[in-house]
Amino acid sequence: MADRMRVVGKSLARVDAPGKVSGTAIYAADFALPGMLCGKVLRSTLPHARITRLDVTRAAALPGVRAVITAADVPDVRYGGGLKDETAFAKDKVRYMGQPVAAVAAATPEAAEAALAAIDVVYEPLPAVLDLEAALAPGAPLIHEAWESYTAIPILHREGNVCNRARIVAGDVERGFEEADRVFEHRFRTGMVHQGYTEPRAAVASWDSSGQVTVWSNTQLPFEVQNTLAEILQMPPSKIRVVVPGVGGGFGGKLRVGVEHFAAFLARKSGRPVRVATTSEEELTAAYPRQGSIVELKTGVTKDGRITAKAGRIWLDTGAFAGSGPGVASVATLVLAGPYKIPNLYLEGFAVYTNKTNCGSFRAPSGPQANFAVESQMDIIADALDLDPLEFRLRNIVREGDEGPTGQVLNGVGLEECLLKATAAIGWKDRRPGPGRGKGLACGWWTTTGGSSGVYVKINPDGTVALNTGAAEIGTAAITGAAQVLAEELGIDLTDISVVAADTFSTPFDFGAQGSRTAFAVGNACLAAAADLKRQIFALAAGQLGVEPDALTLADKHVAADGKRLSLADVARLSQQTGGGLIAHGTFIAPPTPYDTKRVEGHVYPAFHSPSFHAHAVDLSVDPQTGEVTIHKYVVAQDVGFAINPTYIEGQIEGGVAQGLGQTLSEEIIYEGGRVLNPNLTDYKMPTTLDVPRVESILVQHPSLVGPHGAKGVGEPPNIEPPAAVANAVAAATGVRITSLPITAEKIALGLVDARAGGA
Ligand code: MOS
């Protein structure tokens, strides 16, 4: 099919390429207005404490200081997504080290810093809950004493420090364990990791004389930010305009209000535009990183390697506020099931409050944590049964038409092909090529997030096209993918399309650049708009050419029939004279994925829409003295449904693997006593270009029934499997099984010492 396509399926240059490669693109952190002030936030210095005194008089009187605000200056509201437990500023007590206590706006950054230092705040420490075990212990201090009074969606199962417990029950797990020949139980841990976007969170706010505020922000979700600001500011959304100038990486870290509300409050109080942007220290102590977790898995198998039952629990450390935790805990249960056919399941995900920063969403939220446990255990079991890990997986994976864990029927299942292609490319037959060298495999599945998208598409009088979308381009080239779908349909070139994006006043609604959905959903909205436009074009052209509309075709920027043709430019000009121009509103909402409602409880994400399937394979060496890992080759075979733009999908895969390897080998936000020990980019160790191996991408294409041309979401999946693939390769290379992330050289070296001593 792709052969007849001119634009989709081709590795064309992205529509936003010139600005990005020349450095002229404007990001939110670049955005500036005349007279703009610098806003900064005073943050708590204790993890859990009562505020006994907060006096800003001295700070407000300093030269250059134009506004100082605290909880006393803002509406007394609790906001949040499914669970409203957050406040703009800590009021009576602080719940993590880094929580906002006050904010200032001043003429210069130095004056703002001086004002922060002059704020008089006194704390009375409270017992802090510093990890998951402490939060879950009987009699643990409550992070939110009044948790029962908070507004929450009724689906959530809450109890004390647990802000949701999501559950999947299928079949009869106890009977399944009785049917098993062997039952395996393991426990895994993962650390807290930051998205590592290049651009800090930044927002500029400015009020006009009518009482309307405009916020230029690098959010992934302008419409969500508009609604949240309406809650926080206690204003109608129609008075709040959110514009996204550009986003220097999001990865889930910019889904929710971060600094926008501070900019808005400070701008109102000072009467001047205010910019607030975070520092690296604020990012690593007070952003929305990936939750650390504990996973327990119990899996029953027959002698011939069929899984009869699985019980799994994952506890996610969501920090001091729920944020996306309740949803992430739900998604986690689907990942815990794995891409396997298991008749009996009992799976639970818990989002747990602690006195840490509010964790959130990070590229495939819960994916790496849960998949690390599942796929590590698959290898442990395969070893115990003396089965090849590939063969063990092939005996249990889902195939076309099978049921998912909650009863959804699976279509477009390319997992077997992914496993076979990834293992062939890594040279699986020889998976222990020599001492200290080994190959590892991991596979998984993921969703294409739903939600609606709208586009306006307008044909300009020169025959070019303006694509107006509410989705932000966050660096993935997903908007380019959607534009390719549009260009194909309208018979134009990709370079004929210009994009207007992400302005809550002028662009149609979009659920946002999240969850691997943008090219999929915006692409489908483009198909709808193109169908409408073609009707309009054919109706006009038919009259001009004296043919029936049905006889017309649209190709090569012309509409034609019976050897007669009219250019798209001519039709556009004609329509301006007769009816206000050629414009269409296309919308898309992913159809619901049916599932068995009786299998789930407390679950906000009970099925994976247009699921993707993937297998990762890695070939690595381990230094026998230091435990240092050197990756020789990394292969990803990913079922993308249909590759709209192969180059940018490969870009997503390579970036996802690089980011995934950071979480695997070196990255962790380390807490001690409630304080982050490594809040800077020297001690928080993200991989550099020198650390990232060659990644081979194999695009497998089993079409989605819903996606444009069969495409599925592609952005998040490459982040899921690196931890398990590497853990399995390290085990193959050394015999040392690491069950916690990150898999540091130190942990491996200690494991090697134990192994030499005859232990472990
Ligand atoms: Mo994503 S974690 O939905 O940006």
Q: Radius of gyration (Cα) for the chain, nearest Å?
A: 27
Question: Strand 65-70's sheet: what is its strand order?
Answer: 65-70, 100-106, 37-43, 274-277, 202-207, 213-217, 240-243
Please tell me the predicted confidence (pLDDT) of residue 758. Answer: 78
Ligand 1 atom with the smallest distance to the CA of 363 is: 2
Find, among 509, 379, 386, the residue nearest to 438 by Cα: 379
Taking the chain (760 residues) in runs of 10, the rounded mean pLDDT of each run is 82 95 94 97 98 98 98 97 97 97 98 98 97 97 97 97 98 98 98 97 97 98 98 98 97 97 98 98 98 98 98 98 97 98 98 98 98 99 98 98 98 98 97 95 98 98 97 97 98 97 97 98 98 97 95 96 95 93 97 97 96 98 97 98 98 98 98 97 95 97 98 98 98 98 98 83
Please tell me the predicted confidence (pLDDT) of residue 4. Answer: 84
User: Is the CB of residue 365 below 6 angstroms from any atom belonging to ligand 1?
Assistant: yes
Please tell me the predicted confidence (pLDDT) of residue 759. Answer: 56
User: Is the CB of residue 253 below 6 angstroms from any atom belonging to ligand 1?
Assistant: no
698 Cβ partners below 8 Å, 6+ apart?
418, 421, 422, 425, 635, 636, 637, 638
State in Å: Cα 56 to ligand 1 middle: 37
Distances (CA, A) of 11 to 7, 157, 613, 647, 699: 9, 46, 22, 5, 13
State in Å: Cα 748 to ligand 1 middle: 31
d(CA 617, CA 633): 8
Ligand 1 atom with the smallest distance to the CA of 515 is: 3
Q: Is residue 730 classed as helix, strand or coil in its secondary structure?
A: helix
> Which pair of structure tokens corresponds to residue 29?
């952190």
Ligand 1 atom with the smallest distance to the CA of 220 is: 4
> Which pair of structure tokens corresponds to residue 453?
């998208």
d(CA 508, CA 505): 8
d(CA 742, CA 744): 6
User: Is the CB of residue 575 below 6 angstroms from any atom belonging to ligand 1?
Assistant: no
8 Cβ partners below 8 Å, 6+ apart?
2, 484, 485, 488, 642, 644, 645, 708, 709
- Mind giving me the DSSP string for 655-685? HHHHHHHHHHHT----EETTEES--STTTS-
Ligand 1 atom with the smallest distance to the CA of 514 is: 3
State in Å: Cα 516 to ligand 1 middle: 7
Domains of the chain: 2-26+450-589 (3.30.365.10), 37-126+198-249+254-285 (3.90.1170.50), 292-448+595-759 (3.30.365.10)
User: Is the CB of residue 363 below 6 angstroms from any atom belonging to ligand 1?
Assistant: yes
State in Å: Cα 715 to ligand 1 middle: 9
State in Å: Cα 713 to ligand 1 middle: 12
State in Å: Cα 532 to ligand 1 middle: 31
User: Residue holding tokens 């647990």?
Assistant: 162
355 touches 116 (CB < 8 A)? no
Please tell me the predicted confidence (pLDDT) of residue 90. Answer: 98
94 touches 48 (CB < 8 A)? yes
Angle between helices 518-545 and 568-579 (to 10 degrees): 80
User: Is the CB of residue 308 below 6 angstroms from any atom belonging to ligand 1?
Assistant: no
Count the helix, strand and coil residues of the chain and give each as a percent rounded to the nearest 5. 30, 25, 40
d(CA 264, CA 259): 9
Each residue of 681-708: pLDDT tens digit?
Answer: 999 999 999 999 999 999 999 999 999 9
User: Residue holding tokens 């604020």?
Assistant: 282
User: Is the CB of residue 638 below 6 angstroms from any atom belonging to ligand 1?
Assistant: no
Each residue of 226-280: pLDDT tens digit?
Answer: 999 999 999 999 999 999 999 999 999 999 999 999 999 999 999 999 999 999 9
Distances (CA, A) of 506 to 469, 481, 510: 9, 22, 12
Candidates 221, 225, 359, 363: which one to mutate for ligand 1, based on the most atoms within 8 Å of Cβ? 363
User: Is the CB of residue 514 below 6 angstroms from any atom belonging to ligand 1?
Assistant: yes
Angle (CA) 41-45-49 rounded to 5° is 115
Ligand 1 atom with the smallest distance to the CA of 362 is: 2
- Mind giving me the DSSP string for 34-92? TTPEEEEEEE-SSSSEEEEEEE-HHHHTSTTEEEEEEGGGS----B-SSB--B-SS--S
Reported as type and span, the H/E element at residue 242 is strand 240-243
State in Å: Cα 751 to ligand 1 middle: 35
428 touches 446 (CB < 8 A)? no
Query: Is the omega angle on the peptide bond into residue 109 within 30 degrees of 0, that is, cis?
Result: no
Strands (E), 372-507: 437-446, 452-459, 465-469, 497-501
Candidates 608, 716, 719, 720: which one to mutate for ligand 1, based on the most atoms within 8 Å of Cβ? 716
Strands 629-639 and 695-700: parallel
State in Å: Cα 245 to ligand 1 middle: 19
Q: Is residue 224 classed as helix, strand or coil in its secondary structure?
A: helix
Q: What is the DSSP letter of 235?
A: -
User: Is the CB of residue 446 below 6 angstroms from any atom belonging to ligand 1?
Assistant: no
Burial of 268 (0-12, 13-18, 19+ CB in 10 A): buried
Beta pairing partners, 441: 617
584 touches 392 (CB < 8 A)? no
State in Å: Cα 420 to ligand 1 middle: 29
Ligand 1 atom with the smallest distance to the CA of 254 is: 4
65 Cβ partners below 8 Å, 6+ apart?
59, 104, 105, 106, 111, 112, 114, 115
Nearest CA to ligand 1 atom 4: 252
* Torsion (CA) 175, 176, 182, 186 in degrees, nearest 10: -110
User: Is the CB of residue 220 below 6 angstroms from any atom belonging to ligand 1?
Assistant: yes
State in Å: Cα 496 to ligand 1 middle: 30
User: Is the CB of residue 291 below 6 angstroms from any atom belonging to ligand 1?
Assistant: no
Find, among 372, 348, 338, 350, the residue nearest to 188 by Cα: 372
610 touches 448 (CB < 8 A)? yes
Please tell me the predicted confidence (pLDDT) of residue 649. Answer: 98
State in Å: Cα 324 to ligand 1 middle: 10
d(CA 748, CA 346): 32
Ligand 1 atom with the smallest distance to the CA of 360 is: 2
Ligand 1 atom with the smallest distance to the CA of 252 is: 4
d(CA 54, CA 430): 66
Find, among 371, 295, 334, the residue nearest to 600 by Cα: 334
User: Is the CB of residue 362 below 6 angstroms from any atom belonging to ligand 1?
Assistant: yes
